């Protein structure tokens, strides 16, 4: 910048607020808070359609069979820790398939 007498003036330092990535974020600038993932008390829970629940359970069972295959292969190969982790993954995935199917 140059003043009226032709003398060069130093530029103003950048504002720390403008340089902040939080200030440039659209979420921080929004006056509305994001929606809560938890429904309000007393809200009704709507079940998924049966065809969707069957499809999701089928996908979970396919993944469970893959975890089971990993567990079996690791057991045969002598990798006991990997076999245990595969078996736990298989059991948890079957559990989720059951919850999806029966709970909705």
pLDDT < 70 stretches in the chain: 1-3, 7, 9-37, 39, 104
Structure tokens at 80: 């006991």
Please give the Cα distance from 100 to 51 (Å, whole number): 11
Q: What is the pLDDT of residue 4?
A: 73
What is d(CA 94, CA 87) in angstroms, rounded to the nearest whole number? 11
pLDDT at 95: 96
**Total number of residues shown for the chain:** 104
> In the block, which residue shows the tokens 């057991």?
75
């Amino acid at each position: 910048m140059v003043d009226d007498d032709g003398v060069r003036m130093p530029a103003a330092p950048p504002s720390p607020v403008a340089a902040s990535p939080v200030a440039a974020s659209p979420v921080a600038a929004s006056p509305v808070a994001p929606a809560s993932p938890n429904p309000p008390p007393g809200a009704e829970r709507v079940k998924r359609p049966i065809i969707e629940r069957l499809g999701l359970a089928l996908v979970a069972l396919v993944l469970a069979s893959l975890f089971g295959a990993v567990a079996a292969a690791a057991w045969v190969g002598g990798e006991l820790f990997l076999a245990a982790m595969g078996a736990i993954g298989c059991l948890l995935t079957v559990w989720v398939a059951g919850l999806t199917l029966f709970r909705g």
